[in-house]
Amino acid sequence: MVLRDVRAGVRNEQAIAMVIESLRASLGEKLQTGQAFREQHAHTTTYLTAQLPDAVVFAENADDVKAVVRACAMHGVPVIPFGTGSSLEGQVNAPSGGISIDFSRMDKVLRVSPEDLDVTVEPGVTREALNVYLRDTGLFFPIDPGANASIGGMTATRASGTNAVRYGTMKDNVLALTVVTADGEEVVTGTRARKSSAGYDLTRLFVGSEGTLGVITSITLRLQGIPEKISGGVCSFPTVKAACDAVIMTIQMGIPVARIELLDEMQIRACNAYSGLSYAERPTLFLEFHGTEETVAMQSEQFAMIAEECGSDGFRYTVDAQERAKLWKARHDAYWASRALRPELSALSTDVCVPISRLAECVAETHEDILANNFLAPIVGHAGDGNFHVLVLFNDKDAADIERVEAFVERLNRRALSFGGTCTGEHGIGQGKMSFLQEEAGPALALMRSIKQALDPKNIFNPGKILRSID
Amino acid sequence: MVLRDVRAGVRNEQAIAMVIESLRASLGEKLQTGQAFREQHAHTTTYLTAQLPDAVVFAENADDVKAVVRACAMHGVPVIPFGTGSSLEGQVNAPSGGISIDFSRMDKVLRVSPEDLDVTVEPGVTREALNVYLRDTGLFFPIDPGANASIGGMTATRASGTNAVRYGTMKDNVLALTVVTADGEEVVTGTRARKSSAGYDLTRLFVGSEGTLGVITSITLRLQGIPEKISGGVCSFPTVKAACDAVIMTIQMGIPVARIELLDEMQIRACNAYSGLSYAERPTLFLEFHGTEETVAMQSEQFAMIAEECGSDGFRYTVDAQERAKLWKARHDAYWASRALRPELSALSTDVCVPISRLAECVAETHEDILANNFLAPIVGHAGDGNFHVLVLFNDKDAADIERVEAFVERLNRRALSFGGTCTGEHGIGQGKMSFLQEEAGPALALMRSIKQALDPKNIFNPGKILRSID
């Protein structure tokens, strides 16, 4: 179901050629058609087959984006927005060819208001660059999906990551957008007011639409004050269930934990090997608390009691910045640590999200599934949200292995749906999860299709993602 | 601009008669056409002219809702959902007649999960009834718009209120919905997972759509743990600016204040008179902190220092439940206190929301406008969100007075827009704010119109609200 969906679409060679000719005339060197550029802008970081765009436009401003959209709309040619290419479900592939819009040159912070705790950025600003820019203001942007993704890409994918349990996802942190719509004009979807009841929530409609409804040209974000004090720590548990019980109690008690990450035995083993650490090879939680000296101490103590009650070997925490950095570096390197288990294999990273009361059961069943099939497949999860990832290593030259992985992913997604969950907490649908979205949404898929048809009648915006063009 | 928009639409008498006949046959006594029922279900609590529906259906389950939607879709007759009738911008009026669906009999809590901190309710459950139901679980639903509104109505209006500064608005607290769409079928818009990147955010599209895209039949909500300790207090400031500065500093420092409400001099005078209190008649903040004994004390002390720095006369706070109840009763009675200033006059309650850095300026200019026009018009605001209300008293028999009020509301809304704000933070558009939505959204209004057209091609869902049917 997964790899099968990465099928080629219908290419309109003549139309594509006309668009390229027309854009070359108007945009000059900003348009590139060299093979290397095209390869860099197809899907490079995932297990999916690369499907190259026909040209890449390095947009420098909204007018460049409008020019691309207008030319593509006139000829019915696909437009594929490209941030940093760190998406995981084939979001930047070009199954029917078309024009990739690269946002790396639209990387300016347009304005910041420390009084209002908000900022407006161009789509190409990365989250790390934004936080470097903000440092002197005492503010930071908390959403951290791991990769140094672009804010445009994070918005389009409704990204979240380790801090979401406390600060929410992109859905909660985008105040307003500007978007180039199908008629080639730019619209503003909201204001800088922190809340509004003024009509349909267009902002939330574009957040998570993966470039299929329009092209985002600027993003206004909420910011947070940099915590006065941060403490972090680790503790291991005899079982995944015990670890998840600790998570549930923490959330129920309203302890405002900033990060609470679950790593299974195999993931810990991989991290130990990769990062030269010596954590106990048991289900483990990595935690972080944000606040004042008093509040982080209080929260850490409260959690330590919960952890003890759930059979942990004891929660050790530290406010030392270097020690914390080492801990979170290991967590952020989990992907590479897992891949290093067998560097010659390919990796499929998939995510699901379930109500936290079902997390333990869902992880445990998945764990058994992995053992039963002798997969190398570490599990790591944003446990406070009920969201977890499995990184399955497999031989992409071996059809039987591919089939086994696809069947596993199918079981995993159906398991999540059967537990009242969703087929993706943060990676998005892209090409890889269209079948599961169909199962999850059921009749609601027709509504999504109506909206797509209404806002993109010629199906030029990132076709073949979220919704199959040919269904 | 305001009252003018409450114009009658085109009525299709024959179609309405056919729908009533058909529904009477299938629903029997659940359908009522008596004048008293019709009057109760037109707009009763606001300044707007009542426009009566032709019949009221007391729905008892989703099948009843489907029956109404199917009959109305077949004949092109309006469907107007009705919760408790506490909306403020004409949301339940029936400008073209049609069928009002009353949800008071759909008042069941369908399920609750204390482990996941979520609950699913029918639309007719009121927020007070929900919190009574939840009491034994140690959880509560924090959104408090003042009125004891229904959860369905609060969802449809994207309501918020005093607690939004800490807990967000309905946008942030609805996990999923079931909705009867234009084809008379029920769709599910999301799962119980706390986050998802699975396709378009249909949940957020229906939240705040004011019944214009479909009829909500159940709502899954996030819950919060009842705080171990609550402290509340009051302090007054020499100027509105000083009070707003204290608010900005509180938010910037990340103090997780649960409520921070601004009342101007006139509002305090009205509250003193109505509730027998003796607060200083100066711009005043009412506050509440949620947490443990230690954290609420810490937060209250931190705020006291800020208040002092901003020239307050001193912040007095209490954890005594009775004293707090008295304080918030006075705040919640602000509407009635204001009306009691001149009981013979009509009242127009309007709200705008601006970035908090502009709140002081926006309130001060509005205050001068009120003085210059000799209005009786107290101001009360959810200051932490930059959201404030003006209750203008006027003589609805006097055309000149109506015109003056309309001009004032127009100036107020344009002022908010010019400060980067929105024409409504929480009351919604309804009939009363369609002109201002047009000004605020600009070209984005066309997107809203496309969405409406896509999901409600026959314009049966609450026509003449949010978007003018005849534009």
Decide if B470 is inside a domain: no
Of B190, B440, B454, the CB nearest to A453: B454
User: Does A15 share its domain with A117?
Assistant: no
CA B429 – CA B446 distance, rounded (Å): 16
On whether the CB atoms of residues B95 and B7 are closer than 8 A, the answer is yes
Q: Indicate yes or no: CB of B188 within 8 angstroms of CB of A442.
A: yes
CA A389 – CA A340 distance, rounded (Å): 17
pLDDT of residue B366: 97
Q: Using only the alpha carbons of chain B, give its radius of gyration.
A: 22
Decide if B199 is inside a domain: yes
Q: Indicate yes or no: CB of B447 within 8 angstroms of CB of A187.
A: yes
B113: which chain A residues are within 8 Å (Cβ-Cβ)? 355, 357
Of B205, B417, B452, the CB nearest to A205: B205
E strand map for A282-330: 284-291, 316-318
User: Does A329 share its domain with A364?
Assistant: no
The DSSP result for B116-153, as a single string, is TTEEEE-TT-BHHHHHHHHGGGTEE-----SS--BHHH
Q: Indicate yes or no: CB of B202 within 8 angstroms of CB of A444.
A: yes
Q: Is the pLDDT of residue A453 over 60?
A: yes
- In what helix (H) or strand (E) does residue A22 lie, and over which residues does it extend? helix A13-27
Decide if A442 is inside a domain: no
User: Does B244 share its domain with B325?
Assistant: yes
Q: Is the pLDDT of residue B470 over 80?
A: no
For the segment B106-130, the average pLDDT, to the nearest whole number, is: 97
The total of structural domains in chain B comes to 4
B200: which chain A residues are within 8 Å (Cβ-Cβ)? 205, 208-209, 213, 447-448, 451-452, 466
Which residue in A253, A328, A324, A319 sits closest to A292, CA to CA?
A: A319
Decide if B441 is inside a domain: no
Of B427, B448, B453, the CB nearest to A202: B448
CA B147 – CA B333 distance, rounded (Å): 10
Which residue in B190, B446, B219 sits closest to A445, CA to CA?
A: B190
Q: Domain containing A24 — which CATH number? A: 3.30.43.10
Distances (CA, A) of B14 to A40, B27, B73, B79: 63, 20, 14, 16
Give the pairing of strands A79-82 and A99-102.
parallel
CA A465 – CA B400 distance, rounded (Å): 57
Of A198, A248, A447, the CB nearest to B187: A447
Of A118, A160, A202, the CB nearest to B447: A202
For the segment A218-232, the average pLDDT, to the nearest whole number, is: 95
Q: Indicate yes or no: CB of B353 within 8 angstroms of CB of A169.
A: no
Distance from CA of A71 to the nearest CA of B (A): 21
**Per-window interface: A 234-253 vs B, CB < 8 A:** 248, 251-253
> Residue B235 pairs with which residues in a beta bridge?
B285
B interface test, pick of A196, A212, A302, A387 with most B CB neighbours within 10 Å? A196
Q: Which of A414-423, B11-20, B173-182, B328-337 is the least confident region?
A: B328-337
- In what helix (H) or strand (E) does residue B388 lie, and over which residues does it extend? strand B387-394
Decide if B435 is inside a domain: no
Mean residue pLDDT of chain A comes to: 95
Q: Domain containing A363 — which CATH number? A: 3.30.70.2740
> pLDDT (tens digit, 9 = 90+) per residue, B292-302?
898 899 999 99
pLDDT of residue A258: 96
Q: Indicate yes or no: CB of A357 within 8 angstroms of CB of B116.
A: yes
Distance from CA of B359 to the nearest CA of A (A): 10
Give the pairing of strands B99-102 and B55-58.
parallel
- Which is more confident, B321 or A26? A26
Q: Indicate yes or no: CB of A199 within 8 angstroms of CB of B169.
A: no
Of B442, B445, B453, the CB nearest to A454: B453
A interface test, pick of B66, B179, B188, B200 with most A CB neighbours within 10 Å? B200
Distance from CA of B41 to the nearest CA of A (A): 22
User: Does B317 share its domain with B359?
Assistant: no
CA B44 – CA A78 distance, rounded (Å): 51
A174 in reach of chain B (CB within 8 A): no
User: Does A351 share its domain with A393?
Assistant: yes
A164 in reach of chain B (CB within 8 A): yes
Decide if B464 is inside a domain: no
Residue B332 sits at φ, ψ, to 5 deg, of -70, -25
Which residue in B184, B436, B345 sits closest to A198, CA to CA?
A: B436
Tokens of A120: 């407006």
CA B343 – CA B345 distance, rounded (Å): 6
* Cα atoms in the Cβ-side hemisphere of radius 13 Å centred on B281: 9
- Which of the four pLDDT bands, split at 50, 70 and 90, describes residue A1? very low
Q: Is the pLDDT of residue B9 over 90?
A: no
E strand map for B319-368: 346-353
Q: Indicate yes or no: CB of B205 within 8 angstroms of CB of A201.
A: yes
Q: Which of A71-85, A325-339, A436-450 is the least confident region?
A: A325-339
| Percent of chain A whose pLDDT exceeds 70 | 98
Q: Domain containing A200 — which CATH number? A: 3.30.465.10
User: Does A392 share its domain with A311?
Assistant: no
Residues 6+ apart with CB under 8 A from B150: B83, B84, B103, B104, B123, B124, B125, B126, B127
pLDDT of residue B471: 44
Give me the torsion for CA of A118, A123, A126, A129, rounded to 10°: -60
User: Does B160 share its domain with B220?
Assistant: yes
On whether the CB atoms of residues A423 and A436 are closer than 8 A, the answer is yes
Buried b (16+ CB within 10 A) or exposed e, B60-90: eebebbbbbbbbbbebbbbbbbbbbbbbbbb
Count of positions (residues) in chain A? 471
B134: which chain A residues are within 8 Å (Cβ-Cβ)? none
- Which of A336, A359, A374 is the last residue in one of the domains? A336
Q: Is the pLDDT of residue A403 over 80?
A: yes
Q: Indicate yes or no: CB of B387 within 8 angstroms of CB of A195.
A: yes
Q: Domain containing B251 — which CATH number? A: 3.30.70.3450
Tokens of A318: 């530290």
DSSP state of B436: H
A418 in reach of chain B (CB within 8 A): no
> pLDDT (tens digit, 9 = 90+) per residue, A9-54?
889 999 999 999 999 999 999 999 999 999 999 976 667 889 999 9
B386: which chain A residues are within 8 Å (Cβ-Cβ)? 193-194
Buried b (16+ CB within 10 A) or exposed e, A50-79: bbbbbbbbbbeebebbbbbbbbbbebbbbb
Q: Indicate yes or no: CB of A194 within 8 angstroms of CB of B448.
A: no
CB atoms under 10 Å from CB of B453, counted, come to 14
Distances (CA, A) of A315 to A241, A310, B177: 17, 11, 39
> Residue A80 pairs with which residues in a beta bridge?
A100
B451 in reach of chain A (CB within 8 A): yes
The DSSP result for B285-324, as a single string, is EEEEEEE-HHHHHHHHHHHHHHHHHTT-S--EEE--HHHH
| Percent of chain B whose pLDDT exceeds 90 | 90
Give the pairing of strands A109-113 and A99-102.
unpaired
On whether the CB atoms of residues A53 and A99 are closer than 8 A, the answer is yes
- Which of the four pLDDT bands, split at 50, 70 and 90, describes residue B44? low
Distance from CA of A278 to the nearest CA of B (A): 33
Q: Indicate yes or no: CB of B355 within 8 angstroms of CB of A172.
A: no
The SS3 assignment for B335 reads helix
Decide if A463 is inside a domain: no
pLDDT of residue B5: 59
Q: Indicate yes or no: CB of A451 within 8 angstroms of CB of B448.
A: no
User: Does B31 share its domain with B16?
Assistant: yes
For the segment A91-98, the average pLDDT, to the nearest whole number, is: 96
- Which of A336, A371, A391 is the last residue in one of the domains? A336
CA A418 – CA B175 distance, rounded (Å): 17
User: Does A325 share its domain with A406?
Assistant: no
B400 in reach of chain A (CB within 8 A): no
- Which of A170, A203, A225 is the last residue in one of the domains? A225
Q: Pick left, alpha or beta for residue A219 (phi over 0 → left; psi -120 to 50 → alpha; otherwise beta).
A: beta
Structural domain that includes position B293: 229-336
Distance from CA of B295 to the nearest CA of A (A): 8
Of B113, B158, B197, the CB nearest to A425: B197
Give the ipTM of the model, two decimals please.
0.97
Count of positions (residues) in chain B? 471
Of B355, B427, B442, the CB nearest to A193: B355
> pLDDT (tens digit, 9 = 90+) per residue, A119-175?
999 999 999 999 999 999 999 999 999 899 999 999 999 999 999 999 999 999 999
Contacts of the segment A329-335: beta carbons below 8 A, 24+ positions apart: A329/A275, A330/A271, A330/A274, A330/A275, A330/A277, A331/A162, A331/A261, A331/A263, A331/A271, A331/A286, A331/A380, A332/A146, A333/A271, A333/A274, A333/A275, A334/A263, A334/A267, A334/A270, A334/A271, A334/A378, A334/A380, A334/A391, A335/A146, A335/A391
Distance from CA of B343 to the nearest CA of A (A): 29
Q: Indicate yes or no: CB of A455 within 8 angstroms of CB of B455.
A: no
B171 in reach of chain A (CB within 8 A): yes
**Per-window interface: B 297-356 vs A, CB < 8 A:** 298, 353-356
B interface test, pick of A87, A185, A200, A388 with most B CB neighbours within 10 Å? A200
Distance from CA of B276 to the nearest CA of A (A): 33
User: Does A117 share its domain with A140?
Assistant: yes
> pLDDT (tens digit, 9 = 90+) per residue, A51-74?
999 999 999 999 999 999 999 999
> pLDDT (tens digit, 9 = 90+) per residue, B213-261?
999 999 999 999 999 999 999 999 999 999 999 999 999 888 999 999 9
Residues 6+ apart with CB under 8 A from B343: none
B137 in reach of chain A (CB within 8 A): no
Tokens of A183: 């008629």
Q: Indicate yes or no: CB of B158 within 8 angstroms of CB of A197.
A: yes
How many CB pairs (< 8 A) connect A and B?
A: 275
User: Does B161 share its domain with B215?
Assistant: yes
User: Does A133 share its domain with A204?
Assistant: yes
Which residue in A193, A157, A109, A149 sits closest to A425, CA to CA?
A: A157
- Which of the four pLDDT bands, split at 50, 70 and 90, describes residue A471? very low
A interface test, pick of B137, B157, B179, B197 with most A CB neighbours within 10 Å? B197
CA A452 – CA B74 distance, rounded (Å): 25
Residue B100 sits at φ, ψ, to 5 deg, of -85, 130
CA angle in degrees (0–180, nearest 5) for A426-A429-A435 = 130
Shortest CA distance from B117: residue in chain A: A252
Decide if B358 is inside a domain: yes
Q: Indicate yes or no: CB of B202 within 8 angstroms of CB of A440.
A: no
Tokens of B277: 């209190």
